[in-house]
Amino acid sequence: MSGAPLLAAENLVKTYNGAPALSGVSLTVRPGESVAVMGASGSGKTTLLHCLAGIVQPDAGRVRLFRDAALPVEVTALKDDARSALRRRDFGFVFQQGLLIPELTAGENVALALMLGGTERRQAEQAAAGALAALGLAGMEGRRIGELSGGQAQRVAIARAQVTGARMLFADEPTGALDSSTSAEVMRLLLQTVQGSGRALMVVTHDSEVARWCGRVITLADGVVVADTAGASGVRR
């Protein structure tokens, strides 16, 4: 895919206790792309996601977010509080277990993402209701997470990731706890979030079937990119 980048990493290096997790990884993600990152356990998949999202600082290399093409934000140069603000505003996250707050309702979980950024509660709740309705959860705003199915809970997580207007979505094993039918539903919804929206999606997975949903597949081994190939295109019907 051609065009201006949305997120770019250059020569990322990260070591834990003397063992390399990333050894000079470079990649570019563009608006509209869906990218799967695959590899065996310990290959560096989650470390890469964490470095790209500003959760972990690499030992060397840099990550840039092209919020404004003329003036990219160097994520790796930001201090902790600035990186936290960037994650609240520009990055959205969907994890294997959703990492939703079980004491809160579906609506409150989604609204919280906006309220942490300073949005007034009523406005945040209205936006949350709209985001949930768009994902087929209209009328379920008041249900607690334990009252939802696994697939419904992941829809709440997707709504939370989108509601702030984040352009870069990260999903770490988002279907790992789901059956194959529900996994397909979740992947379809994730891909729909980037189509024509200017967003991009990166999915970390060990599952080749999940990776095939994405338009591009990056394979890591021992902290190095060993393949960057085209995947399936578009959303499956």
pLDDT over 60 (residue 237):
no
Contact 136, 172 (CB under 8 A): no
- In this structure, the dihedral spanned by the alpha carbons of residues 73, 75, 81 and 87, taken in order and rounded to 10 degrees, is 90
DSSP per-residue string spanning 171-194 = EESTTTTS-HHHHHHHHHHHHHHH
pLDDT in tens, 189-214: 999 888 878 899 999 998 899 999 99
In terms of residues, how long is the chain? 237
Overall CATH class of domain 7-102+167-230? alpha beta
pLDDT over 50 (residue 236):
no
pLDDT in tens, 131-174: 999 999 999 999 999 999 989 999 999 999 999 999 999 999 99
Cβ-based neighbours of 160, under 8 Å, separated by 6 or more: 92, 100, 109, 110, 112, 113, 131
Domain positions in the chain: 7-102+167-230
200-204 vs 168-172, strand pairing mode: parallel
Considering the entire predicted model, what is its pTM? 0.91
Q: Nearest to residue 140, comparing CAs of 173, 105, 169?
A: 105
